[in-house]
Amino acid sequence: MAVDLLLGLQWGDEGKGKIVDVLTKDYDIIARFQGGPNAGHTLEFDGIKHVLHTIPSGIFHENAINLVGNGVVIDPVIFKKELDNLAQFKLNIKEKLLISRKAHLILPTHRLLDAASEASKGKAKIGSTLKGIGPTYMDKTGRNGIRVGDLELSDWKDRYASLRDKHIDMIDFYDAKIEYNLDELEAEFFKAVEVLKALTFIDSEEYLYQAQQAGKSILAEGAQGSLLDIDFGTYPFVTSSNTTAAGACTGLGVAPGQIAEVFGIFKAYTTRVGSGPFPTELFDEVGATMGRVGNEFGATTGRPRRCGWLDLVALKYAVRVNGVTQLMMMKGDVLSGFDTLKICTHYKYKGKLIEHLPYNIEPENVEPVYFEMKGWSEDLTKMKGDAKLPSELNEYIEYLEKELNVPIKIVSVGPDRTQTVYR
């Protein structure tokens, strides 16, 4: 049995959590493969809103196993909070939630290093979520990290202490001084580690291999978006993992040939949190309306998201880098009420008209060129299932399908599970 992928194609926050939740009924296993608690996956059903950070979005489905893969970085403190929030649902966490021994741990000092690094960058800061993601992946690739499996060894606290001491020297090295109480942070961390240790740790690549042999269906759930990929995103304003399709192979130990469907999720417009270039960003009332109607505030940090028109140049790039086979368009409802809609089809790059994402999309190099379409005014939020979409929205969708050469199978018209139109 093959593995399907679900990926965000923009700068994150496309609504992956909702779609994983909608799709989970078709899968036996939902697996996260990269990122960590910088993600905030929002799910809404039965009138309740749930935000998950590290735990895969299939956790509320009775029969699905949820796996945190080797490519993920785990902060025990945030993980414990997520588990505390789930306690009311009486889920069998020990059986439903499995954790790769090869996943790396975010230590309290990783978070402090993130803060010190950002503070010292001044205006050039990445706009990190300050969850310690960058420093943890740096220790992973620097071969210094502490992994979940280490918690089963008797000397892990010694290894922890030597890495912590090194981090403290590094924090002192930064010009920007940050205040912290390490005793408090460590007390909280060790308490949370005990909770983590009570969960089920596995050799996840072997588990997934056996699951495939046994005909189980697997959905790999991406976090962040393609434009935040460490290699293909808008570097250096990116996250520290591969958010694109290949990241699922390294983040789970799944062979490339095993990947079947690649579901690509995008919003009907574009948003970004944190710093970095954003060619179609709007600074006017239109952008403000998108933010207000779309409730565009970060699920992890609460920061307002920057909003702008759909960037087809960037979307094409993401579709190609990931080999997307099916598209899902989110937040169609938010575009209701605009007389005219704009889609960026080209960039004017250093004076020339181009259709691909160049090396550098800083504002001084790039001016977006738009195609305009007529908008619609109908409220879409009551639509579900096979509802008939307004003709202007169908034209918008068909235009994108033609340009991207990939079908758009789902149009989401609200945050609830039921506000989903299938095509």
Binding site for ligand IMP (CB under 6 A): 11-13, 38-40, 126-129, 131, 133-134, 223-224, 228, 237, 239-240, 273-274
State the Cα–Cα distance between residues 158 and 139, nearest whole angstrom.
16
Q: Which is nearer to ligand IMP, 201 or 232 (CB)?
A: 232
Q: Which is nearer to ligand IMP, 134 or 253 (CB)?
A: 134
Q: Which is nearer to ligand IMP, 73 or 252 (CB)?
A: 73
Q: Which of the residues 13, 75, 139, 311 is marked catalytic?
A: 13
Side-chain-facing half-sphere of 417: CA atoms under 13 Å: 18
Question: Least CB distance from residue 5 to ligand IMP, whole Å?
Answer: 17
140: annotated active-site residue: yes
Question: Least CB distance from residue 134 to ligand IMP, whole Å?
Answer: 5
Question: Least CB distance from residue 268 to ligand IMP, whole Å?
Answer: 17
Q: Which of the residues 53, 61, 140, 316 is marked catalytic?
A: 140
Question: Least CB distance from residue 78 to ligand IMP, whole Å?
Answer: 12
Binding-site residue ranges: 12-18, 38-42, 129, 143, 224, 239, 299-305, 331-333, 412-414
Q: Which is nearer to ligand IMP, 24 or 239 (CB)?
A: 239
343 φ/ψ angles, rounded to the nearest 5 degrees: -125, 130
Return the HEC string of 201-218: EECHHHHHHHHHHCCCCE
Do residues 293 and 334 lie in contact, with contact meaning Cβ atoms separated by under 8 Å? yes
Q: Which is nearer to ligand IMP, 127 or 390 (CB)?
A: 127
166: annotated active-site residue: no
> 349, 262, 320, 367: which is closest to 4 by C-alpha?
262
Question: Least CB distance from residue 124 to ligand IMP, whole Å?
Answer: 13
Output the DSSP codes for 3-59. EEEEEE-SSS-SSHHHHHHHHGGG-SEEEE-SB-TT--EEEEETTEEEEESSS-TTT
State the Cα–Cα distance between residues 16 and 7, nearest whole angstrom.
7
Residue nearest to ligand IMP (CB): 274
110: annotated active-site residue: no
Residues in the chain: 423
Binding-site residue ranges for IMP: 13-16, 38-41, 129, 143, 224, 239, 303
Binding-site residue ranges for GTP: 12-18, 40-42, 305, 331-333, 412-414
C-alpha radius of gyration, the chain, whole number: 21
Do residues 148 and 69 lie in contact, with contact meaning Cβ atoms separated by under 8 Å? no
Q: Taking the CA atoms of 288, 16, 423 and 379 in sequence, report the sign of the dihedral they define.
A: negative
* Residue that the structure tokens 């409730």 belong to: 295
Question: Least CB distance from residue 303 to ligand IMP, whole Å?
Answer: 7
Residue 132 in tokens: 């310690």
Binding-site residue ranges for Mg(2+): 13, 40
Output the DSSP codes for 74-90. E-HHHHHHHHHHHGGG-
Q: Which is nearer to ligand IMP, 106 or 343 (CB)?
A: 106
Q: Which of the residues 21, 41, 50, 167 is marked catalytic?
A: 41
Active site residues: 13, 41, 140
